[in-house]
Amino acid sequence: MDFPRINVYLNKLTHNAKIISGRFASRGITAVAVTKSVLGDTRIARSIGHSGIENFGDSRLKNLIRLAGQYRHSQLILLRSPMESEIETMVGVCATSLNTQIETVEKIDKECAAQNRSHNIIVMVETDDSREGLLPGQVLPFIKKASFLDNIHILGLGTNARCISKKKPSYGSLSLLPRLQREAEKVTGRKIPVLSGGNSSLYTLLLEGKIPAEINQVRIGEAIMLGHETLNYLPISGTYGSCFLLEGQIIEVKAGGKKAILALGSQDGSASNLLAEDGVEVLGQSSDHTVVGSKNQKRFCIGDIISFKMDYIGLLSAMTSPFVKKNYIAGIV
């Protein structure tokens, strides 16, 4: 077996997705599974799909192209505004995209006409994150212009939190979406059916009953993959935090077996994003090597395997690295 490798426990992912999406569904909220942390991996997406989740989103068009061989056009969502160079391909690959620039939407409309298609947009509103989104006062003028485009359907409004800023989502900030929805529907005379309230950071608000009743979609990646919410990074009850495990092999032993070097470096996963197995601590790292030490009586040997749990960035790095072998494990959870 090649190392470093990441063990992917597929049934645990199915379980997590079923638990989390079910809890949101009990409040009338549909979960979109976000696959960007796993490079649009089709086996992982298929396992998540076994939970009953039907829609998949990704911020990278290349990942959605991978998923297009497995899922219908109508099930795929581009989770950021497309680059101009992506529009032609995007229109053919996915039915929905998140948008903030009317110039981009106009180009999507033109491409749709060329391909004899229509396209859904979710208009992103800046509320919490200092990331993408229109300011609330810009939303109605944007929607008025977009509503005159023949091939564009304004599917919904959306927002983000906890991606760039540390500001937490709140009932007040989320309540902005239904207000804008009502105003936009009055202005255009058309229904805007989707309010996409955010990401895994909404899970705690769900438990506290602090999500406005009108919010009916969430975009969930980290909670499914790692089994924790992203407001306080606490485990989600009933889910697994061990769906992924990164393993590295020892190539050199020092200090009488109390210190070792792994053939795993920051190019595979930064030490700051890794948590070593019990009894092992990370002492240092270069691009090619990770130095570990024993915290107990454990003595290392050449060829030993050391395992690590990962945070979200660690998972993203390991799944993206071509040097990390992906080892898919099915079976009973």
The answer, as to whether pTM is greater than 0.85, is yes
Q: What is the Cα–Cα distance from 41 to 309, expressed in whole angstroms?
A: 19
Taking a C-beta distance cutoff of 8 angstroms, is the pair 192, 156 a contact? yes
CATH numbers and ranges of domains, the chain = 10-226 (3.20.20.10), 244-329 (2.40.37.20)
State the burial class of residue 219 (Cβ atoms within 10 Å of its Cβ: 0-12, 13-18, 19+).
Answer: buried
N- to C-terminal Cα separation, the chain: 23
With b for 16 or more beta-carbon neighbours within 10 A and e for fewer, the 145-178 pattern comes to: ebbebebbbbbbbbbbbbeeeeeebeeebbebbb
**In the block, residue with structure tokens 């609330």:** 136
Q: What is the Cα–Cα distance from 93 to 35, expressed in whole angstroms?
A: 15
pLDDT at 127 over 90: no
pLDDT in tens, 164-215: 556 678 888 899 999 999 999 999 999 999 999 989 989 999 999 999 999 9
Phi and psi (nearest 5°) for 6? -120, 120
Give the model's confidence band at 155: pLDDT under 50 very low, under 70 low, under 90 confident, else very high: very high
Give the model's confidence band at 118: pLDDT under 50 very low, under 70 low, under 90 confident, else very high: very high
